[in-house]
Every structure is written in structure tokens, then in C-alpha cells.
Amino acid sequence: MACGRWIVRAGSKALVAVSLSCLTTVLLAQAAPQAATEACDKPVYLTIDTGHMGVATLVGEVLRRQQVRVTFFVANERTRTGGSSMDETWAPWWRAMAEQGHTFASHTFDHVYWQGDTADGGFRVRASAGPDAGRPKVWTTQQYCDELARPAERFEQMTGQNMLPLFRAPGGRTSPALVRAAEQCGYRHVGWSAAGFLGDELPSDKYPNATLLADALRNIRPGDILMAHLGIWSRQEPWAPAVLEPLIEGLKRKGFCFATIDAHPAYRAFLLPVQLPAEP
């Protein structure tokens, strides 16, 4: 049975309540990534966003073989097989990833791009997936918060496990107002480091895989958040089959270790469970 939703600090009040036994489970789960990070003085944080899922099986095999845990930012995107990345076809794959110890966070359910703020405190958005794909919308803070929660609900249905109360806006597009609104409903935004942009969504004729690999190995520094995808429609030379495993191996040779985003110092405190009052 899932432990229920994470308790996080949002201003001065907890967003949800869980039992004391659940709190113990969460604390133990947090101890593992923190201990792993403390044992290595050169951590990097590999994060992977959903995509067309054409390389998902390969990515899972590489991560298992290399014993690397990552954080997936999950949306219900269109796939090459005509379905979507969180449909029943992919549910067994997500369960396997959860069992391997990876962590998961929201990428909005319909891969919804922020396009601007409105004068009355709303947001202009456009989804690239789902029934409203391509249609401009204006959302309230509550509508955006509801969208952030949808992947977690579906993920728990598929795997019985919870997502972290973190999110990545599609394309990394945000505004200060959007970030504040998300934090009001308990979500902290996660971007990526400049050197951590691994380039798998760039045109392959101008940015071939060999160049992307060399640049990453040269420029990545300890503490960087790295970002790739489970398949990019526009790239002609797929990135993951050529770059992912050599990148992991090359970084390991340079003394780097891999940790999930909940161990990152910028998010660790935000994710600390709220202390529950003692029972009378």
C-alpha cells in the first residue's frame, strides 16, 4: 500500500496529514539518497523528462546496468505507438522503474507550457498533449495546481508509489508568479544546470552525439542537475543509444556519483517531513 502523500513545508502549515508509521517510512526513504550523496564529494543529479518513449526501454536497461538512480519528470505525452506515456502499455515499465529506486516528480499531465502571466493573476498556457493540445488557455492558480497533481494521481494508480512534491515546467518555462503559485500548493520547481543541458532536443545535424558527449564530459561540475528525455520527436540521430551510457561511464571515471533530486541541497530542506505533534 502506498504511504500517502508527502508532507512538505509550505509556509507554516502542512498540506496533508499522514500517520506516524507513514512518517517513519518517509524518513527512512530519505536517509538512503542523503547517505549516498554524503559518501561522494562529486554528486550529479541526472533527471529525465518524458517524451515519445521510443528509448525508454533502453534507458531503463542502461540505468539498471550502471546502478544509477535518476529522477523522472513525468507527463502523459504522445508516444510512437499511438498511445501516451502513462497509459496501461507503459504502466509495467513505470512500476519497474519505481522498484529500481528511482524518484519521480510532475511535468504537468498534458505537458502544459506556460506562455505568460495575466493581469488578474492567471496564466496563459498551451498543452502539447491531451484533448486540448495546441489550444491556448487561461488558467487560475488552482487550475495550474490541479494540473501539477494529475501525474501523481496516475502514477500512484500505476505503481502504488508517490511522487515528490516537485515539478519541472515543460521547456523550463516559468515566471516568478508561476513559481510562487506552485509553491502555494506545495510544489517546488526544478530546472537544470547550464552544463547539465545534455542537448538531446537540439538538431542532430548541428549538434551530433559525439559533440554533445564531449561537451558534457568537459563541462559538467559537481552539484549539476542534468536533463535529458525519453525520446525527442524532432531529433534525427537519437541521443540516448549513443550518449547515455558513455556519459555515465565517463563521469564515473572522473569521480562523479549519481544521486536523485531529493538529495540535492536546494531541495532537501523543502522535502523534509513536517514534525507531527506527539500523541497525548
Q: How far is CA 269 from CA 43, 61, 266, in A?
A: 17, 32, 7
Residue with grid cell 542537448, as numbered in its chain: 199
Tens-of-pLDDT digits for all 280 residues of the chain?
334 444 343 433 334 333 333 333 344 344 444 444 456 789 999 999 999 999 999 999 999 999 999 999 999 999 998 999 999 999 999 999 999 999 999 999 999 999 999 999 999 999 999 999 999 999 999 999 999 999 999 999 999 999 999 999 999 999 999 999 999 999 999 999 999 999 999 999 999 999 999 999 999 999 999 999 999 999 999 999 999 999 999 999 999 999 999 999 999 999 986 444 555 5
**For residues 111 and 34, what is the distance between their CA atoms, to the nearest angstrom?**
30
Nearest C-alpha neighbor of 163 from the set 29, 37, 17, 24: 29
How many CA atoms lie within 13 Å of 212's alpha carbon, on the beta-carbon side? Answer: 27
Tell me the torsion sign for CA atoms 124, 75, 157, 46.
Answer: negative
Reference 271, options 169, 157, 187, 179; nearest CA is 187
Distance CA 273, CA 84 (A): 33
Q: Any idea how long the chain is?
A: 280
What pLDDT does residue 228 have?
A: 98
The residue written with cell numbers 547517505 in the block is 35
What is the reported pLDDT for 272? 81
Q: What is the pTM of this model?
A: 0.86
d(CA 180, CA 126): 19
Percentage of the chain with pLDDT > 70?
Answer: 83
Q: pLDDT at position 278, please?
A: 52
Element spanning 126, H or E: strand 123-127
SS3 47: strand
The three cell numbers locating residue 182: 506552485
pLDDT of residue 39: 65
For 139-189, how does the pLDDT look when each residue is reduced to its tens digit (9 = 90+)? 999 999 999 999 999 999 999 999 999 999 999 999 999 999 999 999 999
Q: What superfamily in CATH does domain 44-264 come from? A: Glycoside hydrolase/deacetylase (3.20.20.370)
Backbone angles phi, psi at 177, to 5 degrees: -65, -40
Q: Angle at the Cα of 42 (from 37 to 48), degrees rounded to 5?
A: 75
Span 242-256, pLDDT tens digits: 999 999 999 999 999
How much is the mean pLDDT over the chain?
Answer: 88
